A and B are shown apart, each in its own frame.
Chain A
Amino acid sequence: MEHVISVTLENKAGSLSRVAGLFSGRGFNIESLAVATTLDPTVSMMTIVTSGDDRIIEQILKQLNKIIDVIKVVDLSESDAVSRETALIKVSTRPEDRAETLRIVDIFRANVVDSSPASYTIEVTGAVQKIQAIIQLLQPLGIKEIVRTGRIAIAREPVRTEATQPRPLAKAN
């Protein structure tokens, strides 16, 4: 089963290779990995998409925790989380296809971020299914190049009851 794991780690030279090396060295699967610094410049956040049975996922979580540069590990598949991925897709456009391409961009609420006489570069962000769907639709038109960020994910804040109740009206004086 697919798992999305969020890893908080020291933003140090070599930290990324410790995580990547763990996956390759122990034969764990890695589908995507995205990493960047947080508000605290000494800390990075990494989102790893991996898969395996429960025993393997338990090992992955424990082994990640064992890395000294790793500060915190959360398996986001266990909780409610929002995940997004961005893709940049360069599509070749014959004059007769340009309108169709723009329609697809519109439907997916994607953007054309660069264009040339023979191509559009499309930026699309969303859940992984959405990225896959737009790729499928664009493929017949001719995809020249595609770059994906890999997934990033964040846990949803629990919905607190007091926040959902209507605020008392301010007293009119």
Chain B
Amino acid sequence: MAQLTGAEIFLEALKREGVKTIFALPGGVVLKIFDVLHQQNDVEVILTRHEQGAGHMAEGYAKATGKPGVALITSGPGMTNVVTALADAYMDSVPLVCFSGQVPTALIGNDAFQEADNIGLSRPCTKYNFLVRDVNDLAQTIKEAFYIASTGRPGPVLVDIPKDISMNKTDVTFPDSVSIRGYNPTYEGSKWKIKQAADAIMKSRRPILYLGGGVQLSKASPEVLELAEMTQIPVDQTLMALGSFPGQHPLSLGMLGMHGTYVANMAMHYSDLVIAVGARFDDRVTGKVSEFCPTAKIIHVDIDPTSIRKNIHVDIPIVGDCKRVLQELNSVLRATVNGDQKEWRKPWWDQLNEWKNDHPLSYRQEPDQAVKPQYFIDRLYHLTKDRDPILSTDVGQHQMWAAQYFHLAKPNAWLTSGGLGTMGFGFPAALGAQAAFRQRLVLCIAGDGSVQMNSQELATAVVEKLPVKVFIINNRFHGMVRQWQDLFYEGRYACSYLDQTPDFVKLAEAYGAAGLRIQTVSDVDDGIREAVAIDKPVFVEVPVDQFENCYPMIPAGGCNHEMILEDPPELQKRQPVEAMGQRDGKDTILTA
């Protein structure tokens, strides 16, 4: 075989992994690789305007396709900029392979120009990382990187390539398989434990399915649906799971946790059997650990043994891939289920329906008042649901409202930053998904605070013709921060009021994208239709009621059955003027 340079090996290895698109930003030490990429057409290179954008785009691509996303960035500041995206991917188990440039091997450790300890920086926020010290190792390393990123509990992997490695030549053979002696994920669940779980399900009177992001990752939606329908068990979903069970299904209780629905949280608290599938009992779900599900037995299915019994005692732990474990569980149950499950579960469902009717999600939209964020998202959902959209969000109040009111029907359509809670995630993630699915409708619900954290990617959107529709829920606040200040800091708005919000319409237009503003309730439907019809990236600014808060809410460390359901009386009386008064009543928002 002919001798190839490291850069050529890199390209060939990517092609062999089936990579179609990468998100990249060049720099001195990766120029050889970019030079090779420039002279080919098999792998599309999307130039981003910031390395964090590249990382989140790769995440959006991965979440929407289920395949590893790929980012390529340079050493030093390129690496430090991508760390947030790696940490985000690690928390949310997103398969990602990030290639970073490194100074030549001879200079490593010399504090060379644009040198950073990429391995040290990424170690706590990647599943694994490699420093390639010899060009002969490159092909094998890339194979292992993709294997580790996409198997077991997926996650980000970093491959650090020094400049000389990308230029050195070698006779290369590309490996076909990978074997790593310290890495053998367990896919098959213990049959004995699965049998125990089936017995517990058959005996249980008040069971609840608690689905996590692992259901999406293991593509277990059909198995979950079969299990729920066969046994008539209600379904709670975490933020990361949304879409893995149809949001409008009669068995769905919606999202659980800090801003989950009343019925979803009550069902957890009073259940006698929690069936956790691919979830990790995060503090936003458990609330006060000592009073979490006080009467329930807990079954926990997860591919990562460390997730089991990390926060909560588990009675029936099942380590394995969600899909395979549920297939086995369903086959055991199919033989056991007899009689009418609906009849047997009726008392439980009567109770659930009572909770549902007592406190449904609600908001009040007055026709002549400011647009309520919930109303807007509700309308967006109804006007776009038939087009099977992909929806990304940033982080904050708008994210929670999107989770509550946008009832996703299918998996791999929900791009959100759950574990790390990364503001600035939504817009680039939407671009990554759009790059994977050019023909699909990709929506992004953002806040005026978070969208400014990666708005530079408007340039990427325009140049690469990625027509995502970004709806900026603008309350001129870091809304979730303001909500906590309202509830727990006596309304002192320390640095949460954004009195200098840009004109997002002009901002979009400055980049060559389209800009729209929806001012009144009567504009909402037309505005959404207009935005969706435009065949280029759009920023739609939606000024909303500034003081709307997100409920239900379980205060951090509170109990799941003790939710705050609406603004306390002192907040209900508040007028917008009060907040403005803190800034000399000067309203400095820039409007067109």
Contacts and interface: CB of A to CB of B under 8 A. Distances in A.
B305 A66 contact: yes
Nearest to A14: B119
A62 B127 contact: no
Interface stretch (B177-185, B291-299, B538-546): B177-185
Contacts of A58: 309
A107 B123 CA distance: 48
Interface string A39-72: 0000000000000000100110011011111110
Contacts of B127: 68
A21 interface: yes
Contacts of A17: 120, 123
A68 B306 contact: no
Interface string B108-121: 00000000000110
A3 to B, nearest CB: 17
A99 B131 CA distance: 56
Given A17-B123, A18-B123, A25-B124, A63 B306 contact: yes
A18 B123 CA distance: 7
A9 interface: yes
Contacts of A65: 305
Contacts of B309: 55, 58-59
Contact of A68 (B120, B182, B305): B182
B103 interface: no
Output the residue of B124, B306, B309 with the most chain A CB within 10 A: B306
A36 interface: no
B182 A71 contact: yes
Contacts of A25: 124
A17 B180 CA distance: 19
B124 A21 contact: yes
- Interface majority SS (helix, strand, loop, mixed), chain A: helix
B95 to A, nearest CB: 15
Contacts of A62: 305-306, 308
A137 B343 CA distance: 77
Contacts of A18: 123
Interface string A85-125: 00000000000000000000000000000000000000000
Interface string A71-89: 1000000000000000000
B304 interface: yes
A7 B587 CA distance: 62
Output the residue of B127, B148, B181, B309 with the most chain A CB within 10 A: B181
A133 interface: no
Contacts of B310: 59
Output the residue of A59, A65, A68, A70 with the most chain B CB within 10 A: A68
Given A17-B123, A21-B124, A69 B182 contact: yes
B128 interface: yes
Interface string B306-335: 101110000000000000000000000000
A10 B306 contact: no
A71 B148 CA distance: 15
Contact of A59 (B119, B120, B306): B306
A172 interface: no
Nearest to A9: B182
A68 B148 contact: yes
Nearest to B153: A66
A13 interface: yes
A67 B305 contact: no
Contacts of B128: 68
Nearest to B180: A68
Nearest to A13: B131
A66 B123 contact: no
Contacts of B182: 9-10, 67-71
B313 to A, nearest CB: 8
9 contacts: A10-B182, A21-B124, A55-B309, A59-B309, A62-B306, A63-B306, A68-B183, A70-B182, A71-B181
Interface of A: 9-10, 13-14, 17-18, 21, 25, 55, 58-59, 62-63, 65-71
Given A10-B182, A66-B305, A68-B127, 4 more contacts: A18-B123, A21-B124, A58-B309, A59-B309
Q: Which 10 A-B pairs have the closest CB atoms?
A: A62-B306, A71-B182, A68-B183, A62-B305, A68-B128, A25-B124, A68-B182, A70-B182, A63-B306, A66-B306
Interface of B: 119-120, 123-124, 127-128, 131, 148, 180-183, 304-306, 308-310
